[in-house]
Amino acid sequence: MLIEDYYNHNFRNDLNEFINLNNKKFNLKEGVCFHGLYGLECIQESNRSYFIICLFITVYVDQAMYTYFGYYYDKFESLTKYPKYHGGPSSMNINPIVLFSENHIEVPIDSNEIISYMKEGMKLFVSEVKAFFNDHIPEIDYIDFFNQIIPSYNNVDTSILNWNLVYFEIQNALNEENG
C-alpha cells in the first residue's frame, strides 16, 4: 500500500479510533485534541509509520493555517475538524515534529521506516494542500502556504528524522510538483 492510499482509505478511521483511545486515557474532551501517541496500539502495525506521517501532516497544516492564515482559519477548521496536539492539561499546541521522536509511548515506532516513507509522505502533503486550497480556499495559493512554513536548507542529512529532513522533502516535492 502507498501512503496516499492509506491516507485516502484508512487514515480518517484510524485517526478517529486513535483519538478516542487517547482521549479516554487522558480524560480529554472527545475528538478535539490528543496528547502524545498514546493509543497507537489501535493502529495496525504495518500502517503505524504511515499513520504518524499523516498525523504530522494533519497537525502541521492545522497549526500553520492558524498561525499564518488566521483570516481563513475558521473556514478551514469547519471543513477539516482536525484535532489539536496538546501538551497535557493546558491548551498549548505541541510542535508536530515531536510526533517523530515520541520516546515515551507504549508502542515502539520505527524511525528508519518513517525516514524511508518521508519523501512519499511529503509529496502527499504538497498534493493534498494544493488540492484542498484549489477546491475550498482558492484565495490561498499553495506555494504561498509552503513559503510561509519552509526555510531554505542546503546539505541536509536525510538519515536523521528532524525538521531539516521534513523541509528538504517538502521542497523536493514542491520542485517536482512545479516541474
Residue 41 confidence (pLDDT):
86
How confident is the model at residue 155, as a pLDDT? 55
Cβ contacts of 43 within 8 Å, gap of 6 or more: 14, 17, 18, 51
The residues that bridge with 86 in the sheet, in sequence order, are 93
**pLDDT at residue 34 in the model:** 67
Which DSSP symbol is given to 36? Answer: T
Alpha-carbon distance of 132 to 97, in angstroms, equals 22
Strand partners, 34: 85
The upper half-sphere exposure of residue 137, i.e. CA atoms within 13 Å in the direction of its Cβ, equals 23
The pLDDT value given to residue 70: 93
For position 178, what pLDDT does the model report?
79
Q: What is the pLDDT of residue 161?
A: 63
The confidence score (pLDDT) of residue 13 equals 95
Q: What are the residue ranges spanned by the domains of the chain?
A: 3-177
Q: What is the pLDDT along the chain (179 residues), one digit of tens a residue?
A: 899 999 999 999 999 898 888 777 666 555 566 667 777 888 998 999 999 999 999 999 999 999 999 999 999 999 998 887 766 555 667 777 777 775 556 677 788 888 899 999 999 999 999 999 999 999 999 999 998 887 655 555 656 567 777 888 888 888 888 77
pLDDT at 29: 59
pLDDT for res 153 = 52
